[in-house]
Chain A
Amino acid sequence: MTPTIAVLLIITFVLSTVGLLLLIWSIANNQFSHGQAAARTIFSPGEEGHSEDPARPSDLPFTGDNSEQAAAIEARWAADQSSRTAILTWLSSSVFWLLLGSFFGLASSIKMHFPEFLAASEFLTFGRVRPVHLNAVTYGWASMAGIGVALFLIPRLFKTSLAGGKYAVLGGFIWNIGLVLGLSAITLGLSDGEEWLEFPWQVDLLFVVGGALCAIPLLLTAANRQVEHLYVTSWYLMAALVWFPILFLIANLPFAFPGASGATVNWWFAHNVLGLWVTPIGIGIAYYMIPKILGRPIISYQLSLIGFWSLALFYSQVGIHHLIGGPIPTWLVTLSIVHSVMMSIPVITVAINHHGTMMGNFGRLKDSPTLRFVWIGALMYTVSSLQGSMEALRSINVITHFTHYTVAHAHLGMYAFLSFILFGAVYFIMPRLTNWEWPWRRLISLHFWLVSAGILIYVVSLTVAGWKQGVALLNAAMPFLDIVKMTLPALQARTLGGALMTLGHLVFAFHFIAMLMRHGAATEQPTLFRPAIKETTQ
Chain B
Amino acid sequence: MKRALAIMVGAALILLLATLTLVVMPYLQMSAEQVPPDLKPYTEQQQRGRQVYIANGCVYCHSQQPRDPSFAPGDKARGWGRPSVPGDYAYDKPHLLGTMRTGPDLFNIGARQPSIDWQLMHLYNPRAIIKGSIMPSYPFLFRHVEEPAEGDKVVNIPPPYGPESGKIVATDDALALAEYMLALDHTYPAPTLPKRQPKSDQPKE
Contact = CB atoms under 8 A, between A and B. Distances in A.
B23 A190 contact: no
Given A128-B57, A328-B26, A15 B21 contact: yes
Given A323-B97, A325-B67, A484 B102 contact: yes
A259 B25 contact: no
A474 interface: yes
B140 interface: yes
A115 B21 contact: no
Main SS at interface, chain A: helix
B23 A264 contact: yes
A127 B57 contact: yes
A329 B30 contact: yes
Interface bracket on A: 35 or more
Interface string B62-80: 0101011001111001100
A398 B72 contact: yes
Give the interface centre of B3, B33, B63, B104 by most chain A CB atoms within 10 Å. Answer: B3
Give the interface centre of B3, B10, B57, B102 by most chain A CB atoms within 10 Å. Answer: B57
A276 B71 contact: no
Contacts of A57: none
Contacts of B86: 259-261, 327-328
B138 A258 contact: no
Give the interface centre of A234, A319, A325, A336 by most chain B CB atoms within 10 Å. Answer: A325
A193 interface: yes
B25 A127 contact: no
Interface stretch (B40-48, B128-136, B147-155): B128-136
Contact of B7 (A11, A113, A120, A239): A239
B134 A115 contact: yes
Interface in B153-203: none
Contacts of A266: 94-95
B114 interface: no
A122 interface: yes
A230 B7 contact: yes
Contacts of A322: 99
Contacts of B130: 481
Nearest to B35: A259
A262 B23 contact: no
B4 A222 contact: yes
24 contacts: A5-B29, A15-B21, A19-B14, A122-B141, A125-B57, A127-B58, A128-B57, A131-B57, A189-B55, A222-B1, A225-B1, A230-B4, A258-B91, A259-B92, A264-B27, A268-B19, A309-B10, A327-B86, A327-B88, A398-B67, A403-B100, A475-B73, A476-B77, A485-B132
Given A243-B15, A264-B27, A313-B14, 5 more contacts: A127-B136, A189-B56, A223-B1, A265-B23, A325-B71
Interface of B: 1, 3-4, 7-8, 10-12, 14-23, 25-27, 29-31, 33, 54-61, 63, 65, 67-68, 71-74, 77-78, 83-86, 88-102, 104, 126-127, 130, 132-141
Q: Kindly list the 6 A-B residue pairs having the minimum CB-CB distance in the complex, ordered from nearest.
A: A127-B57, A189-B55, A476-B77, A316-B18, A259-B89, A325-B67
